Amino acid sequence: MTDPSSSATGKLACRPRLSSAPLLALAIVMLAAFAPSARAHEIRPAISDVLVEADRVQMHIVLTLEPLVAGIDLQGLDDTDNAPQADRYDTLRALPPEDLQTAFRDDWPDIREGFELAAGDTGLTPEILRLEIPPAGDLALPRDSRLLIGADLPPDGSPVTVGWDAAYGPLVVRQREGGDDAYSALLEDGAVSEPLPRTGVATETAWQVFPRFIVQGFEHIIPKGLDHIVFVLGLFFFSLHIRPLLVQVTAFTLAHTVTLALAALGLVRIPGSIVEPLIAASIVFVAVENLFRPQLGPFRTVVVFFFGLLHGLGFASVLGELGGGSANFLARLIGFNIGVELGQLTVIAAAFLTVGYWFGGRPWYRSRIAIPASVLIAAIGAFWFVERVA
pTM score, two decimals? 0.68
CA dihedral of 173, 178, 182, 188, whole degrees rounded to 10: -10
Q: Domain residues of the chain, as ranges?
A: 21-40+225-389, 46-204
* pLDDT of 180: 59
Residues lower than pLDDT 70 in the chain: 1-43, 78, 140, 177-181, 203-204, 294, 317-327
* Residue 319 confidence (pLDDT): 66
Q: Are 129 and 152 in contact (CB under 8 A)?
A: no
Distance CA 289, CA 285 (A): 6
The pLDDT score that the predictor gives to residue 114 is 95
- The pLDDT of residue 324 is 53
Residue 264 has a pLDDT of: 72
Long-range contacts (CB closer than 8 Å, 24 or more residues apart) made by 179-188: 179/325, 179/327, 180/325, 180/326, 180/327, 181/325, 181/327, 181/328, 182/324, 182/325, 184/322, 184/323, 184/324, 184/325, 185/212, 185/322, 186/45, 186/216, 186/322, 187/163
Burial 54-69 (b: 16+ CB within 10 A, else e): eeebbbbbbbbbbbbb
Calpha distance 360→239 (Å, rounded): 9
pLDDT at 122: 95
Separation in Å, CA 378 to CA 254, 282, 333, 338: 24, 9, 31, 28
Give me the residues paired with residue 164 across strands: 115
